Structure 1
Amino acid sequence: LPSYSVFRRFIKNLSNSFLKEIMKNQVNILKDLGFIDNKFISVDATPVKANTKFNNPKSFSNNKFSKNNPPSSDKDCKLGVHTANNSMNLHLSEDKTVNSKKNYEFYWGYKNHVICDAISGLPIAEFTTTADVNEVSNLTEILASTNEWFPLEGSYIIADKGYDSKQNHDFIRYTLKGHAFIALNKRGTKKHNLTSKGNVICDAGLPMHKDGKQYFDSYIKQKFCCPFRTSKDDSLCPCKHDKYFNGKKNRGCVKYITIGTDYRSSINRDSIFFKKIYSLRTESERYNSRWKNLNTEQAYVRNINSVTNLNTIGHICL
């Protein structure tokens, strides 16, 4: 066999477009044979850790997960966050803090985004990015790129909360003419206690009164006011709220509820139909598990072109 350096140069210098063409030909052949179609499409991403000591949990380097201290062994990798729960969007700030109560971990490396046939469990397309690329901002790009050679018009696109956004829903519905089955990401929205008629319950436990609406392009803000806002009696508020004694003509609390009017807000995620289609997303989890068995979750090369080529070869093998 040739030496390791020969393989290393080959995998680094080979253009990924050649491997992508091989994978496209495989997918098109499977499509013609009826093994793959575009009816149910599942999208997911999995982390690929860079080959650097900073990803070793036994490493005690100072500031090993600081943006200002990138690893010298792999200059292409970026700092990312991996979490087992996508109920919240995680964003890195300059001081590398993350506002989330979920279990997560920092890592230096890349991400591999995979589009699968949710029935056969076979990959259709894959893309490798650095770890700092957010899934929610990348979905339209990978769907549009795949749609150029594998038609996704009318497809049911299935994805987890990490891909939830108005832009992604509108692209699937109005550009691809398909349907989005993406779990809702509340992104820190306030949860109000409501009465059976939909009125907000204030801090004192009283139902608030509706007080007009504000209309915007894709949502409506319903305003609620204190039931005693015009009263002059200081003893009516059970909790003696500070805003009840604001000295203004209209006293008391004011709360708002946002009512979406776009496609994303119109989806009934509690319906049996939505849950049945969304359950097909587990096929992506199964495929990711098979792909990781090829030892692709840990990079053994130290540049993005080599990582990208090895990832594509892994998908071609599967």
Structure 2
Amino acid sequence: MEEGVILGKHLALDSCSIKANVKENNLKASAQNRFDKTRQLPGDPDARLGVLLHYPQAFQTKIAWFWGYRNHILNDVVSELPLHEKTLPANHDEKKQAVPLLREARESLALSPECVIGDANYDTEEILSYIFFEMKAEPVIPRNRRSTPPTSFTIKKGIVTCPGLLEMRRRGKMTVKGRTYIQYACPLHWSKKYRGQYLHCPAAHPKFFNQKGCNYLIRLTPTVRDQIAYGTRRFKLVYNQRTSVERIFSRLLAISMQRPTVIGLAATKNHCTIAHVTVLLVALTAHRLGYEDKIRYVKSFLPNLA
């Protein structure tokens, strides 16, 4: 950053898998209880079970399991260079690493970004609030379906209607993690108005018989999501810059960061840190030699200078 190569105005969050060198990751090898997360592998006692999501086609998701670690990074999207990284066992949720990663980078590098970009997995109240209120930056993180209110419920003139087109019963207020909601419950279970008129839910709700039907919450506490301009042209253009982190991982893959030959968490951390330092050293060398267009030439840097 002191050299002026990294501006630190547009940042991105992401993580990548680091598979451990254990036979459990080789599906052709015989392994008892291959994906039992309670196990401690003899080949790498620090490795933990993680999940890999692959999207072969639109609206199609493939899930795979692996033993190993995850490298969490914060990068500058303009220069496509890493700013901060952390390696943890694969069972550590990346959502819980975002705020500590941002806080550590902010304190050590004195960052003042304009926006922080991430995929929908980072759509949590804690992450959005930290970026917006603490960092005074714009969170460019699309909504996750888990945080989107269901569209099958309707509200008109203060009346909440369930998917079965029945007026729901208000059951008062509730507060969860400092956020207050008005709770509405299934009218067939909680309202005398419809008692005896229906044998089952008109909308065939799956929780009608074992969990007393549907439940709908109206949030009263203001949410930071109201401050985010979802769907605007600028939001989409800035979010498209997130692909920079994929290119960073591709360059790190070229120097074998995701194929470590070491065992254990401490050694894997060092392995990943050395890979990131290598990328930064290549960029620094290219900048000081006047090759500004080659700051991202990791694999072919030296041959191109010859």
Of 51, 55, 76 in structure 2, the residue corresponding to residue 117 of structure 1 is 76
Q: Give the whole-Å Cα distance in 2 for the aligned partners of 1:138 and 1:155.
A: 21
Residue aligning to 2:7 = 37
Report the CA distance shift for 1:202/1:313 in structure 2 as closer, same or farther (over 3 A). same
User: How far 1:112 sits from its partner (Å)?
Assistant: 0.6
Report the CA distance shift for 1:173/1:58 in structure 2 as closer, same or farther (over 3 A). same
Of 216, 220, 226 in structure 2, the residue corresponding to residue 256 of structure 1 is 216
Residue aligning to 2:92 = 133
| Structure 2 contact 113–135 (Cα < 8 Å) conserved | yes
Query: CA offsets per residue over residues 89-109 of structure 1, 9 Å max, x none?
Result: xxxxxxxxxxxx942111111
| Structure 1 contact 40–117 (Cα < 8 Å) conserved | yes
Q: In the alignment, is residue 55 of structure 1 matched against residue 25 of structure 2?
A: yes
Q: Give the whole-Å Cα distance in 1 for the aligned partners of 2:213 and 2:274.
A: 60
Report the CA distance shift for 1:271/1:189 in structure 2 as closer, same or farther (over 3 A). closer
Note the residue ranges of structure 1 that are not aligned, 5 or more in a row: 1-30, 86-100, 244-251
Greater shift, 51-60 or 301-310, is seen at 301-310
TM-score (normalizing by structure 2): 0.73
Query: CA offsets per residue over residues 151-203 of structure 1, 9 Å max, x none?
Result: 22344111112222211122222222222222222338772424585965434
Partner-residue secondary structure (3-state), 1:84: strand
Q: In the alignment, is residue 281 of structure 1 matched against residue 242 of structure 2?
A: yes
Q: Which residues of 2 match residues 1-318 of structure 1 at below 5 A?
A: 31-84=1-54, 102-187=61-146, 191-195=150-154, 197=156, 200-204=160-164, 206=165, 208=167, 211=170, 214=173, 216=175, 217-221=178-182, 223=184, 231=193, 241=201, 255-259=215-219, 261-318=222-279
Residue aligning to 2:291 = none
Q: Which has the higher strand share?
A: 2
Report the CA distance shift for 1:266/1:257 in structure 2 as closer, same or farther (over 3 A). farther
| Corresponding letter in the other structure for 2:152 | N
Partner-residue secondary structure (3-state), 2:69: strand
Aligned residues: 261
Partner-residue secondary structure (3-state), 1:223: strand
TM-score (normalizing by structure 1): 0.70
User: How far 1:232 sits from its partner (Å)?
Assistant: 7.7
| Structure 2 contact 187–194 (Cα < 8 Å) conserved | no
User: How far 1:80 sits from its partner (Å)?
Assistant: 1.3
Query: CA offsets per residue over residues 3-45 of structure 1, 9 Å max, x none?
Result: xxxxxxxxxxxxxxxxxxxxxxxxxxxx233221121000110
Greater shift, 42-51 or 289-298, is seen at 289-298
CA-based RMSD of the aligned residues comes to: 3.3
* Identity fraction in percent: 26
Bigger relative CO (Cα 8 Å, ≥ 6 apart): 1
Residue aligning to 1:246 = none
User: How far 1:76 sits from its partner (Å)?
Assistant: 1.8
| Corresponding letter in the other structure for 1:202 | C
User: How far 1:273 sits from its partner (Å)?
Assistant: 2.6
Q: Give the whole-Å Cα distance in 1 for the aligned partners of 2:256 and 2:7.
A: 28
Partner-residue secondary structure (3-state), 1:149: helix
Query: CA offsets per residue over residues 96-150 of structure 1, 9 Å max, x none?
Result: xxxxx94211111111111111111111111111111111111111111111221
